[in-house]
Amino acid sequence: MTARVHAGGVELREVHRFPNRPVRAGDTLYWDILALYQGVLDGLRKAGPVDSIGIDAWAVDYGLLDPAGRLLGNPVHYRDERTAGVMERVTAEVGAASLYEVSGLQFLPFNTIYQLLADRAALDRAGTLLMIPDLLTYWLTGSAGAETTNASTTGLYDVRAGDWAWPLMRRLGIPEGLFPPLRPPGAPAGLLRPGVMAEIGAASTAGARQDAAGGGPAAGVPVIAVASHDTASAVAAVPAAGPHFAYVSSGTWSLVGVELPAPVLTEQSREANFTNEGGLDGTTRYLRNVTGLWILQECLRAWGETDLPSLLAAAARARPFASLIDPDDPVFLPPGDMPARIAAYCERTGQPSPAGPAETARCVLESLALAYRRALADAVRLSGHDVETVHVVGGGARNALLCQMTADATGLPVRAGPVEAAALGNALVQARARGLVSDIRELVRRSEPIILYEPGDDAASWQAAAGRLAGHRRAAHGR
């Protein structure tokens, strides 16, 4: 994506889109990191001259470099099974309370901390650990750093000190030397390396720019450490006009929560499995990871179906509340035959299995809306933060059926858009670092269409459905 910031607002342009296809080789599920890096280079080549670059990506995953700075192995996907049982072992050993009071991070089996313990043998051979966006940034610039919003998802970041959690690393035998210096969003992350400039048709990129200070030719294109966790970038671009909002950053995951000035590290917060991830400007993204549209994406993959609009239209006509699932049930985490897992969940909980794709999609979307309702109620209860509206950003903002269900389920007005919130947050942190923007949210409000969904008048049915789902959840997991 390129972004152009001007007096009237910001304009995004998609210059290149490339797939992110994980690869199972042997027993391991990997990211194809070199294909992703190639996609970045192709995008930069197509973009032509730019004033700065920022990389954001998903959280928790990493690459290890050897002491000479070469990638040691292909990064492993967080949905890989290597972490099975590790979180349970660590929490038994260290105590859930001691982990949470340091990192404030929700307990997810794939947090970096557990992946590293599953990958212990490799750690002795490694010189540096870089999170995915930091790794791509390193290949572009040669500068190794750890951007703080993403570092905060590792479980090895001390959320109060704003530093790596050194004592916890020592306690777990994770080598401290692996972790590069932290850098906040907006900090410089180096200039494009000459080799990269050549790779992307450099002369045009650097030569066309004029150095702002001197008016001479630019020395190189700066890369800026944006809020490199995609969710942090997306939340930075939520077009909220005041503090009393919740957000659903809706894509493969649905990240549901509020923005706070400080973390909430109470026992109740830990028990509700809420996370305190780092946001822009020292804010806390207080949220729960709800297993999001992933479930529907995997259904589409299983059905070999690509026509989402028709499926959603059919789902809108299907019978309401026929069957409900807990999207956060661990059975829905790994890739696989999702329709069969949904059917099995329904059977196990004494509900009819959805008859076909439309019924399955309806079940997934209603269940997601109910999970959002629960996460929002928990966020408000645990933080004491008032919420008057829900902003849905990311790809899910396009899903009118889900947005309406979210309004109905939460009883709050939903404001949907922008779809490309992460790209906007990324670009506008760069623009702000360059002094072109002061209020990111105000600029997004001025530039992007937002669709309003008012809650309908069927609050009682949603209330009843929430009660039913709570029963299934308790029966399945005692929670």
* Positions marked active-site: 230
**Residue list 172-231, contact with ligand LFR (CB under 6 A):** 229-231
* 39 class by beta-carbon count within 10 Å (0-12 exposed, 13-18 middle, 19+ buried): middle
String of contacts with ligand LFR for each residue 151-170, x by CB under 6 A: --------------------
Q: Does 359 bind ligand LFR (CB under 6 A)?
A: no
Instruction: Return d(Cα 224, Cα 471) in angstroms, integer.
Output: 48
User: For strand 245-250 and strand 389-393, is the pairing parallel, antiparallel, or unpaired?
Assistant: parallel
Comparison of 154 and 389: residue with beta carbon closer to ligand LFR: 154
Cβ 15 to ligand LFR shortest distance, Å: 21
Cβ 131 to ligand LFR shortest distance, Å: 10
Comparison of 278 and 455: residue with beta carbon closer to ligand LFR: 278
- Judged by CB under 6 A, which stretch of 54-62, 159-167, 330-338, 426-434 contacts ligand LFR? 54-62
Cβ 125 to ligand LFR shortest distance, Å: 24
Angle at 285 between CA 282 and CA 290, to 5 degrees: 160
**Amino acid of residue 235:** V
State which of residues 40, 60, 196, 429 lies at the interface with ligand LFR (CB under 6 A). 60
Comparison of 81 and 199: residue with beta carbon closer to ligand LFR: 81
Q: Does 253 bind ligand LFR (CB under 6 A)?
A: yes
> 286 phi and psi, to 5 degrees?
-95, 110
Cβ 471 to ligand LFR shortest distance, Å: 28
- Judged by CB under 6 A, which stretch of 200-208, 249-257, 377-385, 407-415 contacts ligand LFR? 249-257
Considering only CA atoms, which of 300, 298, 322, 324 is closest in space to residue 311?
300
Could you tell me how many residues of this chain bind ligand LFR (CB under 6 A)? 12
Considering only CA atoms, which of 178, 146, 140, 138 is closest in space to residue 162?
146
Comparison of 256 and 363: residue with beta carbon closer to ligand LFR: 256
State which of residues 63, 75, 76, 78 lies at the interface with ligand LFR (CB under 6 A). 78
Comparison of 57 and 144: residue with beta carbon closer to ligand LFR: 57
**Residue list 279-298, contact with ligand LFR (CB under 6 A):** 289
Q: Does 58 bind ligand LFR (CB under 6 A)?
A: yes
- Enclosing H/E stretch for 12: strand 9-13
Cβ 132 to ligand LFR shortest distance, Å: 8
DSSP 57: B
Q: Does 250 bind ligand LFR (CB under 6 A)?
A: no
Cβ 23 to ligand LFR shortest distance, Å: 18
Cβ 234 to ligand LFR shortest distance, Å: 8
Cβ 59 to ligand LFR shortest distance, Å: 4
Give the end-to-end CA distance of the chain in Å, rounded to a whole number: 42
User: For strand 128-131 and strand 146-147, is the pairing parallel, antiparallel, or unpaired?
Assistant: unpaired
Please state whether 215 falls in left (phi above 0), alpha (psi between -120 and 50) or beta: left
Comparison of 190 and 292: residue with beta carbon closer to ligand LFR: 292
- Complete DSSP assignment for 108-176: -TTSHHHHHHHTHHHHTT-SEEEEHHHHHHHHHHS---EEHHHHTTSS-EETTTTEE-HHHHHHHT--G
Comparison of 155 and 190: residue with beta carbon closer to ligand LFR: 155
String of contacts with ligand LFR for each residue 9-48, x by CB under 6 A: ----------------------------------------
Partners of 415 in beta bridges:
391, 452
Q: Does 255 bind ligand LFR (CB under 6 A)?
A: yes
State which of residues 40, 59, 382, 409 lies at the interface with ligand LFR (CB under 6 A). 59
Instruction: Return d(Cα 122, Cα 215) in angstroms, integer.
Output: 48
Cα-based distances in Å from 253 to 36, 58, 171, 280, 311: 20, 10, 31, 20, 20
- Tokens found for residue 65: 């470099």
**Residue list 82-101, contact with ligand LFR (CB under 6 A):** none
Considering only CA atoms, which of 308, 310, 309 is closest in space to residue 299?
308
Collapsing DSSP states into helix, strand and coil, what is residue 227?
coil
Residue 403, C-beta contacts closer than 8 angstroms, at least 6 positions apart = 392, 396, 397, 414, 416, 451, 453
Angle at 451 between CA 445 and CA 454, to 5 degrees: 120
- Judged by CB under 6 A, which stretch of 58-66, 114-122, 343-351, 373-381 contacts ligand LFR? 58-66
Comparison of 230 and 359: residue with beta carbon closer to ligand LFR: 230
Cβ 287 to ligand LFR shortest distance, Å: 8
- Judged by CB under 6 A, which stretch of 123-131, 166-174, 251-259, 380-388 contacts ligand LFR? 251-259
Comparison of 113 and 221: residue with beta carbon closer to ligand LFR: 113
Q: Which residues contact ligand LFR by CB under 6 A?
A: 58-60, 78, 229-231, 251-253, 255, 289
